[in-house]
């Protein structure tokens, strides 16, 4: 059974990647199991300067999902390189995706330049889709021209393949994907969270301090599948899909619509062993589907329609 995938030259033992913001810098999870079982993982969204994030409360449970407004809390790029990466290398022999955030073009470029120099980084994931920051993030990802401009600027200094993480809070995700690929993106990851809200019925107050927060979990999966299918059908670069993945069968669904790999997000917060379980379950699920090589699943939805 072959679980390996290739993301435009980035070879992974399997397609399962914990998503940024749900796996920290890997260290806490390494205390629970051997994280070398993972295909890779995407580090917590990292900015040039340290960020405290948004005020509390930041989390709210919702039916089949959760809302978060963490706001890219992180220690800053230099601290990650000097303090976190050396510790991670002691327990992790593979390479990671460095998720980069920012509030303007200059801060994105500077953070990407710092992180992309590191040998533990296999790719930079440019987060232009976070809905939980007042500047940057989704402000870039919802405008095709701004998305292309920030992609081109980061591409000039990025020493590793550049994957751009797209927002679902747009009219046409395909149009933005095409723009960033034209600007130099080596791959696409999607979707980030959908904007949502939770309200306390007793008081009428928003449950999170930032009222409009990011919705993730099983509730967003149908939207994520549709958007991954739209983008994967339109671009020639690898696509990594995410949004409500909780099982090995979910992995096959996302790869069927064109994803070359997947990222598992909020489920890590309720079941820290979920990525390990999914990887261990994949051979049996592939066997049940009559598949020997997981790469043959990629894009089969469109092939079935012909």
- Contact criterion met (CB below 8 Å) for 176 and 144: yes
Q: How high is the pLDDT of residue 131?
A: 54
Look up the pTM and report it: 0.96
- Residue 231: which residues within 8 A CB-CB, separation 6 or more? 166, 173, 174, 177, 188, 190, 239, 258
Tell me which residue of 160, 171, 112, 172 sits closest to 136, measured CA to CA: 112
In the set 122, 130, 158, 275, the catalytic residue is 130
Q: How high is the pLDDT of residue 270?
A: 94
Q: How high is the pLDDT of residue 138?
A: 52
CB-neighbour burial class of residue 13 (10 A; exposed 0-12, middle 13-18, buried 19+): middle
Structure confidence at residue 135 as a pLDDT band (50, 70, 90): very low
Is residue 128 over pLDDT 80? yes
CB-neighbour burial class of residue 201 (10 A; exposed 0-12, middle 13-18, buried 19+): exposed
CATH architecture of 5-54+71-192+218-305: Alpha-Beta Barrel (3.20)
Helix (H) and strand (E) counts for the chain?
12, 13
* Segment 150-209, tens digit of pLDDT: 999 999 999 999 999 999 999 999 999 999 999 999 999 999 999 999 999 999 999 999
The reply to whether 130 belongs to the active site is: yes
d(CA 247, CA 75): 32
Q: How high is the pLDDT of residue 71?
A: 85
* Segment 249-298, tens digit of pLDDT: 999 999 999 999 999 999 999 999 999 999 999 999 999 999 999 999 99
């Amino acid at each position: 059974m072959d679980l390996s995938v290739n993301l435009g030259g980035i070879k992974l033992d399997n397609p399962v990647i914990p998503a940024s913001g749900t796996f920290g810098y890997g260290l806490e999870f390494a205390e629970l199991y051997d994280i070398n079982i993972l295909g890779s993982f995407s580090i917590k969204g990292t900015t040039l300067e340290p960020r405290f994030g948004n005020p509390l409360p930041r989390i709210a449970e919702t039916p089949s999902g959760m809302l978060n407004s963490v706001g890219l809390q992180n220690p800053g790029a230099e601290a990650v390189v000097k303090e976190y990466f050396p510790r991670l290398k002691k327990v992790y022999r593979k390479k990671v995706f460095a998720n980069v955030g920012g509030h303007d073009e200059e801060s994105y470029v500077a953070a990407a330049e710092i992180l992309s120099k590191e040998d533990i980084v296999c790719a930079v994931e440019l987060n232009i889709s976070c809905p939980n920051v007042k500047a940057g993030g989704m402000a870039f990802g919802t405008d095709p021209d701004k998305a292309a401009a920030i992609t081109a600027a980061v591409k000039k200094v990025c020493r590793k393949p550049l994957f751009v993480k797209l927002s679902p809070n747009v009219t046409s995700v395909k149009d933005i994907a095409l723009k960033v690929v034209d600007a130099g993106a080596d791959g696409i990851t999607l979707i980030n969270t959908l904007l949502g809200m939770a309200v306390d019925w007793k008081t009428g107050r928003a449950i999170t301090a930032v009222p409009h927060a990011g919705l993730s979990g099983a509730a967003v999966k149908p939207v994520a599948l549709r958007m991954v299918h739209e983008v994967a059908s339109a671009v020639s670069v690898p696509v990594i899909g995410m949004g409500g993945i909780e099982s090995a069968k979910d992995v096959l669904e996302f790869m069927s619509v064109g994803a070359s790999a997947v990222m598992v997000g909020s489920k890590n917060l309720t079941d820290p062993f979920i990525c390990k379980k999914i990887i261990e379950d994949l051979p049996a699920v592939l066997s049940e589907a009559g598949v020997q090589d997981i790469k043959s699943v990629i894009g089969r939805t469109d092939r079935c329609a012909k």
